[in-house]
Copies of this chain bind each other. A is one copy, B any other.
Amino acid sequence: MPTAVINYLLGPDLRLMLEEGDADGLKAFCEELHPAALAELLAELEDETVWRVLSHCALPRQVEIFEFLSLHRQVELVEAIGKERLSKLVGEMSSDDRADLLSRLDPVRVESLLPLMAQADRADVRRLLAYPEESAGSIMTTEYASLTEQATVAEALTALRKQAPDAETLYYIYVLGPDRRLDGFVSLRDLVLARPERTVGELMRRDVISARVDDDQEKVAAQVMRYDLLALPVVDEANRLVGIVTHDDAMDVVRQEAEEDVLRMGGVEPLADSYAETGVLELAWKRGKWLMFLSLVALATAQVLQRFEEVSEAHVWLVLFLPLVLAAGGNAGSQSAALIIRAIALGEQGTGPWRLAARELLVGGTLGFLLALIGYLSGYLWFELGSNESLMVAGTVFVVVVIGTVCGSLLPLASKKMGADPALMSTPLITAVMDVTGVILYYGVGIWLLTTLAGTAAR
């Protein structure tokens, strides 16, 4: 059933049960509904009410539901409860979700919380919080199932029964040598299908694909996707297994990185929370930064235009095609940027910068010719300019489209080379650069050529 329908149908039921204090009803509600669906119902209730509903079920279930809430909402809820309750909740959470939540809380509060947690959990939290943001270490969980090579299938299945409550997935089981060295993995499928007396060593695959703990999360997600994995093991510099990244966390990374690309293409600093959860002032700031920068670029363009004051006065018609010149360069550039940004995000091979620039030059030339033709025909036929003037407009459009295309494709590559997000060199920035370039070409070079040619013709 779609969630919107669930909320529409169940929201009123929930409210009624709360009003009537129907403990049995609430208990059944918490235990029977899918935790993700319940989390969506709860997201819109007040903090106190959420805790009242959750108190009707056992702690593991409470945590399961809680983990499906957005991080933003989790932080809000956690701020409303005391240290003891929080430590119990956090002790039960899965290792990666717990690290995410704690990284968002006031460090002073986290420090006061740690002594209340079990020794092993405490060490786990400290280790996970130490990994840099957006690294494999920051998205992995330390709760994985493992076996040794010597175990038989029957022994392995018994061992897995013990590990089951704590493991995030039982479907890939990692085979460890001395000192937790990652030697390979078996799938639960292979174990179940094998005869009980065979050993893990006979079944295991040794060509295990792994990530390093300091790898970028985008690279990790790309690997999970490329090899269609359920989980990817994460190792340290000595090839010791330190955690796993599961397919659902990899999917979240893909989604998050895509969201960042779309926002950066639109000239918005990526948001930490969802759009609905972000306050008006924060939104205004994340947009305002870029808008102010772009306004300054527009003012630089104005400055350039001012230098061509005499040209403006002598050729008032120039203003007519200014929007076309500005739009052509900016739009062609954004198109190239969008294509390259996605190609980089998808980890496409075989797009070296020179081959790429050559290709974009070809596309840019074709597009430039097309738009120049439109410029020439409209100038000559529609706006009744002279033939030379129309040719000047067409020439400017051609050059601007070609420059825009090449810049738009190379800027994201340059950005990546410098270690920044390729999408940082986004549409608005390219548009801005092309605005200044366009004005100089149009009012400067174009008019100079026009008058020089006219002078030559008159002579």
* A positions within 8 Å CB-CB of B: 1-4, 7, 32-34, 36, 40, 43-44, 157, 160-161, 164, 170-171, 188-189, 192-193, 207, 209, 219, 224-228, 230, 247-248, 250-252, 254-255, 258-259, 261-263, 265-268, 274-276, 280-281, 283-284, 287-288, 290-292, 294-299, 301-302, 305-306, 309, 312-313, 316, 319-324, 326-328, 330-332, 334-335, 337-343, 345-351, 359, 362-363, 366-367, 370-371, 374-375, 378, 382-383, 401, 427-428, 431-432, 435, 439
Contact = CB atoms under 8 A, between A and B. Distances in A.
A359 to B, nearest CB: 7
Nearest to A365: B284
Contact of A349 (B40, B225, B305, B359): B40
Nearest to A330: B431
B247 A295 contact: no
A298 B275 contact: no
A44 B342 CA distance: 20
B334 A267 contact: yes
A309 B383 CA distance: 12
Contacts of A326: 323, 326
Contacts of A219: 2
Majority SS at the chain A contact face: helix
A324 B295 CA distance: 6
A236 to B, nearest CB: 16
**Most chain B Cβ neighbours within 10 Å, of A248, A262, A316:** A262
Nearest to A205: B34
Contacts of A261: 258, 262
